[in-house]
Amino acid sequence: MKPNHVVFAAAMASAFFLAPDESQAAEWKKGMSSPEIKQLQQRLKEKGFFTYPQATGYFGAITEEAVKAFQRAMNLPATGIVDDATYAKLKNAPASNDTLAIGSRGAAVSDLQRRLKQLGYFRYPQITGYYGAVTADAVKQFQRANGLPATGRADRATLERLKQKATSQPVESSDVLTIGDRGDDVRELQQQLKQLGYFTYSDITGYYGVLTADAIRRFQRDNGLPVTGAVDNQTAARLASAVKAKTTSPAPIERERLAVRLSIGALGEDVKRIQTKLKELGYFWTDITGYYGTATADAVRRFQQAAKLPATGIVDSETYERLLGQAPPTKVDVIELVADAAELLGTPYVWGGETPEEGFDCSGFIFYLFQQQGVPIPRTVALMWNAGASVSAPEVGDIVFFATTTNGPSHAGIYIGNGQFIHSGASTGVTISRLDQSYWKQRYLGAKRLF
């Protein structure tokens, strides 16, 4: 389908939904587009529930979550669908008088996060000064524990109670290690992660950087811990327990069940079969070689995480059977992809960021949107460039690449038609730009398709 046709199709799709009048909601729900949806988003924003700076008129995942949050606050069934009862409450509910709510920024939010962190409710590794979903969840936990309405918004009563608790019950930060730390403790941590198959970098560096934080996130995700990328006491204890369990020989029946089929260093047709399947599913982005190296181990680990298996990077019997029996991923719905991207306009740029709450770097923005579609893609610009199929002219949903800091690809965005692309720029956050603008035209490398 040509780019313009896809954009027109997105516009026409909304025409199939009946636009409700001002007095009724007639079940507004995810997937709908209309001016009335834009009014709905503005009302939700006034009440402190809609999280992003712009009302888009498209009812996507973020709007659905805002509706659910409002419904919970109003003691309505949290369906995410705006029926007449929800709409009536929304029209009559007073505007938010909360001191702080989702979307707030600044020193007051930083102070709130510090107090919540001191009391053990805010577990994100950094004080961001931005009130996103992570902060709202921490506020809800505090409110429940202190007999306050669990709205997730910091009103005066919540802030006062928080101040009292933080003053009377000081709690030291539970973070043991985080990005920027150095020394023997970090070396020991990296050795543990390497032993468990999470730290794949060849050298034990003693420096806690992005690679170590990513390894910790994978371990935390696999073990049902808060995914912060920082090592608190709970994560450290779970790591020690996992290492101890790994060094203990399994019982004979367990040894048979965990029989290793393939690991680093293996060669042959079985490795080719695994690599081919991983590539088909979108986890493996290099050539089919028949050699089981670190790239194959990383791809296996990504599959294991998605399949909720122990992320060892080793193909045991269970991994082998689950992998070869996996169906190919569904195709990307480019209309939904672009609509979801539009809801993120204005999200700030954060290096290494890949969620709406923390912000996005350019590849993190693309990675997040494809994840929402259930389609795995590489995390970095360079790997996306290597994995994509070149196209002579971009269509909606294709990735456009630019050389901004080096001769090779260093920046990317999603093409949305009419010569435009949406991306997370270092100075702009998530925004829309034109390919024919002088800056981008001079640095354009080409377009590739990742689905």
β strands within 271-329, DSSP E: 315-316
Sign of CA dihedral 190, 195, 201, 202: positive
Helix and strand numbers, DSSP H then E, in the chain:
18, 12
Q: Distance between CA atoms of 429 and 341, rounded to whole angstroms?
A: 12
CB 49 within 8 A of CB 70: yes
Could you say which of 299, 423, 447, 448 is catalytic? Answer: 423
Q: Is 1 helix (H, G, I), strand (E, B) or coil?
A: coil
Could you say which of 186, 334, 362, 414 is catalytic? Answer: 362
Q: Is position 5 annotated as part of the catalytic site?
A: no
Q: Distance between CA atoms of 383 and 430, rounded to whole angstroms?
A: 21
Helical H runs in 356-437? 362-372, 381-387
Report the Cα 392 to chain-centroid distance in Å.
Answer: 30
CB-based contacts of 248, cutoff 8 Å, min separation 6: none
Q: Residue 251 CB: number of other CB atoms within 10 A?
A: 9
Q: Distance between CA atoms of 296 and 264, rounded to whole angstroms?
A: 8
Q: Is position 107 annotated as part of the catalytic site?
A: no
Q: Is 326 helix (H, G, I), strand (E, B) or coil?
A: coil
Sign of CA dihedral 69, 376, 383, 448: negative
| Burial class for 229, CB neighbours closer than 10 Å (0-12, 13-18, 19+) | buried
Q: Is position 411 annotated as part of the catalytic site?
A: yes
Could you say which of 45, 302, 411, 448 is catalytic? Answer: 411
CA distances (Å), 351 to each of 289, 335, 358, 362, in order? Answer: 33, 27, 10, 8
| Burial class for 328, CB neighbours closer than 10 Å (0-12, 13-18, 19+) | exposed
Supply angle C-alpha 34, 38, 41, rounded to 5.
135
- Residues tagged active-site: 362, 411, 423
